Amino acid sequence: TADKRKKPNKFLRIENISPLWERGFVTYNTAMQEDRDMLTGIEQTLAFEKGSSVHDDAPDADEGAISILQESFRREAFQPLIGTSKTNSKFIW
């Protein structure tokens, strides 16, 4: 499906997630290590830099997928609390 998010500059979005690769949080399926599309995507990701004329469709798609995963995780991890707050009587005016 199309990515309909309101997005900042493509370079900045992709650069912001580059630490995920650097820290080893992004992995690729070894069963697809000979897949031409996978190799092209990895090549685009490794060649990505500001001002480059190399295609950047793969890193852009990865950024979109990572954004969706991060948003989904935030929603699942958030546990709203409902109730009353405890007040300290000496601070009540």
Of 53, 76, 65, 48, the C-alpha closest to 3 is 65
Quick one: how far is CA 68 from the chain centroid? 7
Which residue has better confidence, 48 or 88? 48
Tens digits of per-residue pLDDT, 26-37?
888 999 999 999
Residue % of the chain over a pLDDT of 90? 33
* Residue 70 pLDDT level (bands cut at 50, 70, 90): confident
Give the pLDDT confidence score for residue 19 in this predicted structure.
92
Residue 81: Cβ-neighbour burial (10 angstroms; 0-12, 13-18, 19+): exposed
